[in-house]
Amino acid sequence: MVYLVLNGPCNIIMQNIDEIEELIKLIAKLPGLGPKSARRIILKLINNRQELMKPMINSLNNVFKNISRCQNCGTLKSDSSECNNCKSSKIKSNTICVVENIADQWSIENSTIYQGYFHILGGTITDLSERKNTNLLIDSLIHRVKKDKIEEVILATSATVEGQTTAFYIQDSLKNTNVKISKLAQGLPVGGEIENLDDGTLISAFKNRKGLNGNNI
């Protein structure tokens, strides 16, 4: 049973409202949130219908309809325009940084240490026997390296078994190209995920990255 007290003009007490209970369950599934936080968020939205709730509904609807994953690099893009990662004029380095997910990309971008292209795999390989997993954009990575004459591929997968397995497979997949392959420097905590690292750790890891195929970085 859910009891919600709306601190609005009418001070209404709501009980057993199915719509609100369902919304609490959905919001509580978001990272870092639980039922208690979800209730506070819902109360805030209900008490600010025009200022918050309506604009948020419109924005979520626009994202749902118009934002998709780029089939070339894996990042998010608007369906009404070209992918910013693939076509950006701000790219200053002919390198590709390979990450597992978009949260990792955003973390690295926020650190401002890296000025090249990104390639978002969309996950990891948990076992080399699963290397044919078509959900991961590994084939498109190889295509980009050859087509765009990429000079260096930086493997920025997490320091987990799955992350390192994926990095090993990508390195093996690129062995017939002339591209430099590097990985982030040691110092990343074992089991650590890129999106959870602070800027200082990321900057150090990029600056001290090591080549994997005999090329100096």
Highest-pLDDT range among 133-137, 166-170, 193-197: 166-170
88-99, pLDDT tens digit by residue?
Answer: 766 777 899 999
CA angle 96, 121, 94 (to 5 degrees): 10
Rounded to 10 deg, the angle between the 161-173 and 138-147 helix axes is 40
For residues 169 and 125, is the Cβ–Cβ distance under 8 A?
A: yes
Give me the pLDDT at residue 216, please: 47
For residues 79 and 62, is the Cβ–Cβ distance under 8 A?
A: no
Count how many residues are written for the chain: 217
Residue predicted with more confidence, 203 or 164 = 164
| Position 78 pLDDT exceeds 70 | yes
29-58, pLDDT tens digit by residue?
Answer: 998 899 999 999 999 999 999 999 999 999
For range 154-158, the mean pLDDT: 91
Rounded to 10 deg, the angle between the 199-207 and 102-111 helix axes is 90
Give me the pLDDT at residue 159, please: 82
For range 121-145, the mean pLDDT: 79
CA angle 192, 197, 200 (to 5 degrees): 135
Beta bridge partners of 154: 97, 182
**Residues in contact with 130: Cβ distance below 8 Å, sequence separation at least 6, in sequence order:** none
Look over the chain and give the mean of its residue pLDDT values, rounded to a whole number. Answer: 82
Give me the pLDDT at residue 10, please: 40
The bridge status of strand 67-69 relative to strand 3-5 is: unpaired
Element (H, E) at 118: strand 117-120
| Position 24 pLDDT exceeds 80 | yes
C-alpha to C-alpha distance for 91 and 182, rounded to whole angstroms: 19
C-alpha to C-alpha distance for 78 and 148, rounded to whole angstroms: 22
For range 109-129, the mean pLDDT: 85
Give me the pLDDT at residue 23, please: 93
Give me the pLDDT at residue 213, please: 63
The bridge status of strand 3-5 relative to strand 13-15 is: antiparallel
Percent of the chain whose predicted confidence (pLDDT) is above 70: 79
> Widest CA span of the chain, in angstroms?
71
Give me the pLDDT at residue 91, please: 74
C-alpha to C-alpha distance for 180 and 202, rounded to whole angstroms: 20
| Position 168 pLDDT exceeds 50 | yes
Give me the pLDDT at residue 188, please: 56
Domains and CATH numbers, the chain: 3-67 (1.10.8), 76-211 (3.40.1360.10)
